[in-house]
Chain A
């Protein structure tokens, strides 16, 4: 439901009008403009980042390009802060988020999740010098995570994933202190300073961790993944036709192996289905 205020006859008289987005409105707009505007991050290797030619690249970017191709429109990327995307109420600034978003209950109140396109393991990570060997040893430690991410919600024991096919999980960690960061690279940079310098551990998505380790970050994954998160594309609420069209496209991409191909291209692993 969108609330629109109309400014009438000067400052003093302001009338409130409420209207729901019309069915098919968003889809029509995308087709009419011929551009699918995608909100995603520019700071998250290998999901979405600026490549050597300063163009957007990565797993999410390729998924978004493929969705746009199948819709028959051009693609454009915008990079607002994560909490601006998850806040919903996009007001047509962009049409879709392909940004590894986990469809949680709270988010479902402000956004629609047409389809899950990927399942990534979330892992606990320590500095390479750390003596920690098991996840249980992370209790009462200082643990970092991206603010407003599922990793932070997991640490706060407040994570509900209500997507189809999500695997059940337990809260295995009771952190002493949760430290929140604006981006995942900021969390990594604080942990790499040394074991216990600013952080004792962090929780983040496995693909990003593996990429960091490959770039000689002194990090080590502890134990098995703490949970698997389904990652969905998100759209603003209200347009069921747009929702169904995107669900169909992603289902096709999974069925014909496109998602597997893109996943293996960027991760070397097929994350397109739950284990």
Chain B
């Protein structure tokens, strides 16, 4: 929360004028769609008649009823506690989302037959590739950040060249360059190590900048004080600077982890059987691409949610520690 004050004001969503205005706007928006033939019209069927007879009267009634329901929902939610609001809005949006997929007429039996394979082969490889890459990228980033903050011109030049190059080239191209290019130098690299290397170098470059920002945000006085106490560089870094920098680094690093999980799908182009690769191929025999793509999308989302939860746990840990 940004800032909680004690000023009592009427909620916007409870002002009559706002409610009426919103009902009108939502009605007009819904009016542009012809919903006479949809599931929304079924409750009103006795009044508006068959889909082909309902016409503008049908459209208007449906739009009006739906917008009233919509605003009623918002007004009611406005009265509730924060946690309850969170729960209800999440469930409603999730239902809407699933309803959207339901409209595709998916073959759920097919999904069931392939789901376990997607998890054991695809999720396993995706997690394996991204977890190894995340750990290695963090190490690269730490060294990169220290080098970028160093007064040593050689270290700074290497680190800044590295971040500039690997942030400036598309990750997909890095995957290709490493997989196809390294063998030209005499070192034949397998698909999985090539993918991991590309992810590590690319994300290491982004995270170098994040780490650098975090370290730089610790005030100069901390350095001076630890130097005055006789601390050497390594000890200062470990015991003084990093403990203060890490809480600032965590939110953006969590972002990178989630992005990495999904960018690991790029290694599918070199034939690694991870989740994205299987999503594209598992449905090809029966021409059921939508089923596999949606399943894989939901799996990616579920994995990201887990990472989000872990991230918020860690953030909470540091917040309670610093207060």
Report whether B289 and A189 are in contact in the complex, using a CB–CB cutoff of 8 Å: yes
Tell me how far the C-beta of A139 lies from the nearest C-beta in chain B, rounded to whole angstroms: 30
Report whether A185 and B284 are in contact in the complex, using a CB–CB cutoff of 8 Å: yes
- B residues 75-126 with Cβ under 8 Å of A? 113-114, 117, 121
B287 in the interface, Cβ–Cβ < 8 Å? Answer: yes
Q: A77 — nearest CB in chain B belongs to which residue? A: B271
Range for the number of chain B residues in contact with chain A: 20 to 34
Checking B185, B269, B281, B287 against A50 with a beta-carbon cut-off of 8 angstroms, the contacting residue is: B281
- A residues 45-75 with Cβ under 8 Å of B? 45, 49-52, 54, 57
Report whether A6 and B186 are in contact in the complex, using a CB–CB cutoff of 8 Å: yes
- Interface majority SS on B: helix, strand, loop or mixed? helix
Report whether B284 and A45 are in contact in the complex, using a CB–CB cutoff of 8 Å: yes
Report whether A7 and B285 are in contact in the complex, using a CB–CB cutoff of 8 Å: no
For B269, what are the chain A residues with a Cβ–Cβ distance below 8 Å?
81, 84
A212 in the interface, Cβ–Cβ < 8 Å? Answer: yes
Checking A5, A78, A189 against B185 with a beta-carbon cut-off of 8 angstroms, the contacting residue is: A5
Count of A-B contacts with CB under 8 A?
A: 73
B22 in the interface, Cβ–Cβ < 8 Å? Answer: no
Report whether A78 and B282 are in contact in the complex, using a CB–CB cutoff of 8 Å: no
For B286, what are the chain A residues with a Cβ–Cβ distance below 8 Å?
215
Interface-forming stretch among B160-168, B176-184, B222-230, B301-309?
Answer: B176-184
Report whether B287 and A92 are in contact in the complex, using a CB–CB cutoff of 8 Å: no
Report whether B184 and A217 are in contact in the complex, using a CB–CB cutoff of 8 Å: no
Task: Tell me, in angstroms, the Cα distance from A3 to B190 when the chains sit together.
Answer: 18
For A183, what are the chain B residues with a Cβ–Cβ distance below 8 Å?
280
Task: Tell me, in angstroms, the Cα distance from A45 to B281 when the chains sit together.
Answer: 10
B203 in the interface, Cβ–Cβ < 8 Å? Answer: no
For A164, what are the chain B residues with a Cβ–Cβ distance below 8 Å?
none
Report whether A185 and B287 are in contact in the complex, using a CB–CB cutoff of 8 Å: yes
Report whether A84 and B179 are in contact in the complex, using a CB–CB cutoff of 8 Å: yes
Tell me how far the C-beta of B54 lies from the nearest C-beta in chain A, rounded to whole angstroms: 26
Report whether B188 and A92 are in contact in the complex, using a CB–CB cutoff of 8 Å: yes
Report whether A89 and B183 are in contact in the complex, using a CB–CB cutoff of 8 Å: yes
Task: Tell me, in angstroms, the Cα distance from A225 to B204 when the chains sit together.
Answer: 51
Report whether B180 and A54 are in contact in the complex, using a CB–CB cutoff of 8 Å: no
For A44, what are the chain B residues with a Cβ–Cβ distance below 8 Å?
284
B191 in the interface, Cβ–Cβ < 8 Å? Answer: yes
A89-B284 contact, Cβ under 8 Å, with A79-B271, A84-B179, A185-B289:
no
Checking A6, A45, A93 against B287 with a beta-carbon cut-off of 8 angstroms, the contacting residue is: A45
Against B, the Cβ 8 Å flags (1 = close, 0 = not) of A212-235 are 100111000000000000000000
Tell me how far the C-beta of A17 lies from the nearest C-beta in chain B, rounded to whole angstroms: 9
B206 in the interface, Cβ–Cβ < 8 Å? Answer: no
Report whether A3 and B117 are in contact in the complex, using a CB–CB cutoff of 8 Å: no
Task: Tell me, in angstroms, the Cα distance from A3 to B286 when the chains sit together.
Answer: 43
Tell me how far the C-beta of B274 lies from the nearest C-beta in chain A, rounded to whole angstroms: 12
Checking B117, B270, B289 against A84 with a beta-carbon cut-off of 8 angstroms, the contacting residue is: B270
Task: Tell me, in angstroms, the Cα distance from A91 to B184 when the chains sit together.
Answer: 9
Task: Tell me, in angstroms, the Cα distance from A196 to B282 when the chains sit together.
Answer: 28
Report whether B271 and A43 are in contact in the complex, using a CB–CB cutoff of 8 Å: no
- A residues 81-129 with Cβ under 8 Å of B? 81, 84, 87, 89, 91-93
Report whether A91 and B183 are in contact in the complex, using a CB–CB cutoff of 8 Å: yes
For B191, what are the chain A residues with a Cβ–Cβ distance below 8 Å?
78, 80
For the A-B complex with A49-B284, A57-B285, A89-B184 known, give 18 more contacts whose Cβ atoms are closer than 8 Å. Answer: A5-B185, A42-B281, A44-B284, A45-B287, A50-B284, A54-B121, A78-B191, A79-B277, A79-B281, A80-B191, A84-B179, A84-B271, A91-B183, A93-B183, A183-B280, A185-B284, A185-B289, A215-B286
User: What 6 pairs across the A-B complex have the smallest Cβ distances?
Assistant: A80-B271, A215-B287, A91-B183, A42-B281, A4-B186, A79-B271
